């Protein structure tokens, strides 16, 4: 238990104090590049000798950003610009962003204007990525991203460095996939907040350092018997869950997250980069091969069946869909996910969340009612 408590404490410190982690990187002489959602080729940053640093907005209001965005833009985009405007992102040497949804695509231009002191590294990933043209386009986009990372960091990215970075990030994502599994088996040892802290720490810490910690945690948890008795086993779906008020509600209801389909969590850990051949081509291929995500073009809507399969495979008693306000791809999929769960006989509830929302008492009531329903 000492190992578990120590690792959880270190991850909590990093997750709750990202500014201190950033300063630590800078004090070590490393440059830091902000990495936004989704599926960014952050391996390029590592290959440049810099540190990729997760930027997914923050909990709180976005007042200044409203000068640039309409109120129906999602809170991730709004609060990220707010961070850029109030100086939070000043120490970054660049910010890598995507255009995988309509909101992010427009946001990249407003970021240029709203925080001109933070160089933008825009990665133009295609939605129709599996066609021959899509594959070529992805590779060319990654070549451009590589050039922009080199400009931001002042380093040259060699094939050898990128190949090693691909391995480093593959190892980290594998450790995180195992952590999600172990945390689901051991809710008594790893609380909802602990789980979120371990995941968020990985967005701020140096990847090899975090991987080593998570592997120690996974090994210690694997030696213990499962501690799921008395907990309600659920699958989480959506974009994110790391809002303290939500974590508190989930914990109060004694939920055990046995699996998740969250963009900031297990979806982000699903990518595997081939470790043979040209490393940049391999990085592009890892994006092309992605599937089962509301954000990605998929006429078969495998994302919907994926949620149901996760619930069945992990013996979940229900699915909780955290529907991020103004997230069009998630809102489009939500009715299909809810229907698929109903057809499969899996209780499901959809609750609306937003990083700028102050009160979650209505969500508390919804989840308390849901808990009673599944028992």
150 and 276, same domain (yes or no): no
248 and 366, same domain (yes or no): yes
Question: How many C-beta neighbours within 10 Å does residue 180 have?
Answer: 20
Quote the radius of gyration of the chain (alpha carbons, Å): 20
Question: Would you state the pLDDT for residue 359?
Answer: 84
Name the strands in the sheet holding 348-353, side by side, starting at the edge strand that comes first in the sequence: 255-262, 232-238, 318-324, 348-353
Separation CA 103–CA 38 (nearest Å): 12
| Domain housing 236 | 231-375
137-151 tens-digit pLDDT: 999 999 999 999 999
235 and 374, same domain (yes or no): yes
Q: Does residue 214 fall inside a structural domain? A: no
360 and 246, same domain (yes or no): yes
pTM of the model: 0.96
Question: Would you state the pLDDT for residue 108?
Answer: 83
Q: Does residue 10 fall inside a structural domain? A: no
Q: Does residue 6 fall inside a structural domain? A: no
137 and 236, same domain (yes or no): no
131 and 39, same domain (yes or no): yes
Q: Judging by beta carbons within 10 Å of its beta carbon (0-12, 13-18, 19+), is residue 361 exposed, middle or buried? A: exposed
275 and 149, same domain (yes or no): no
Which alpha helices (DSSP H) does the chain contain, by range? 2-16, 18-27, 43-47, 75-85, 102-114, 132-153, 159-185, 192-204, 207-222, 244-252, 266-269, 279-288, 302-313, 328-343, 361-374
CATH number at residue 45: 3.40.50.11890
Tally of domains in the chain: 2
Q: Does residue 63 fall inside a structural domain? A: yes
From 110, 128, 157, the end of a domain falls on: 157
Residue 88 in contact with residue 55, Cβ under 8 Å? no
From 103, 132, 157, the end of a domain falls on: 157
User: Which residue positions in the chain have pLDDT lower than 50?
Assistant: none
Q: Does residue 209 fall inside a structural domain? A: no
Question: Would you state the pLDDT for residue 1?
Answer: 81
Question: Would you state the pLDDT for residue 332?
Answer: 94
278 and 139, same domain (yes or no): no
From 157, 173, 203, the end of a domain falls on: 157
CATH number at residue 348: 3.40.50.11900
Question: Would you state the pLDDT for residue 363?
Answer: 94
Question: How many C-beta neighbours within 10 Å does residue 247 have?
Answer: 18
Tokens of 150: 């080199």
193-205 tens-digit pLDDT: 999 999 999 999 9
278 and 362, same domain (yes or no): yes
* Cα four-point dihedral sign 275, 278, 284, 288: negative
Q: Does residue 17 fall inside a structural domain? A: no
130 and 256, same domain (yes or no): no
Q: Does residue 192 fall inside a structural domain? A: no
Q: Does residue 250 fall inside a structural domain? A: yes
């Amino acid at each position: 238990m000492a190992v578990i408590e120590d690792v959880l404490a270190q991850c909590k410190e990093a997750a709750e104090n990202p500014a201190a982690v950033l300063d630590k990187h800078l004090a070590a002489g490393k440059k830091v590049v902000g990495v936004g959602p989704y599926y960014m080729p952050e391996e390029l940053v590592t290959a440049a000798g810099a540190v990729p640093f997760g930027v997914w907005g923050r909990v709180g209001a976005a007042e200044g950003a409203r000068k640039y965005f309409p109120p129906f833009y999602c809170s991730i985009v709004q609060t990220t610009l707010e961070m850029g405007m109030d100086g939070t992102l000043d120490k970054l040497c660049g910010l890598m962003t995507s255009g995988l949804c309509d909101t992010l695509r427009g946001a990249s231009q407003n970021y240029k204007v709203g925080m001109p002191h933070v160089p933008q590294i825009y990665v133009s990933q295609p939605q129709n990525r599996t066609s021959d043209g899509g594959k070529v386009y992805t590779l060319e986009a990654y070549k451009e991203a590589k050039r922009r990372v080199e400009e931001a960091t002042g380093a040259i990215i060699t094939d050898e460095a990128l190949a090693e970075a691909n391995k480093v990030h593959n190892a980290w994502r594998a450790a995180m996939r195992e952590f999600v599994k172990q945390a689901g088996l051991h809710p008594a040892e790893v609380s909802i907040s602990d789980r979120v802290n371990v995941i968020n720490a990985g967005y701020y810490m140096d990847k090899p350092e975090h991987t080593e910690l998570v592997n120690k945690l996974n090994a210690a948890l694997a030696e213990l018997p499962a501690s799921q008795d008395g907990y309600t086993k659920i699958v989480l779906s959506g974009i994110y869950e790391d809002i303290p008020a939500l974590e508190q509600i989930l914990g109060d209801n004694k939920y055990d997250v046995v699996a998740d389909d969250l963009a900031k969590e297990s979806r982000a850990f699903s990518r595997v980069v081939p470790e043979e051949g040209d490393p940049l081509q391999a990085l592009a291929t890892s994006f092309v091969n992605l599937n089962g995500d509301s954000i990605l073009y998929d006429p078969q809507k495998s994302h919907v069946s994926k949620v149901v399969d996760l619930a069945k495979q992990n013996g979940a008693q229900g699915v909780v869909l955290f529907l991020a306000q103004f997230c069009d791809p998630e809102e489009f999929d939500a009715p299909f996910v809810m229907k698929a769960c109903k057809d499969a006989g899996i209780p499901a509830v959809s609750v609306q969340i937003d990083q700028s929302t102050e009160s979650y008492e209505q969500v508390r009531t919804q989840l308390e009612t849901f808990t009673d329903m599944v028992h």
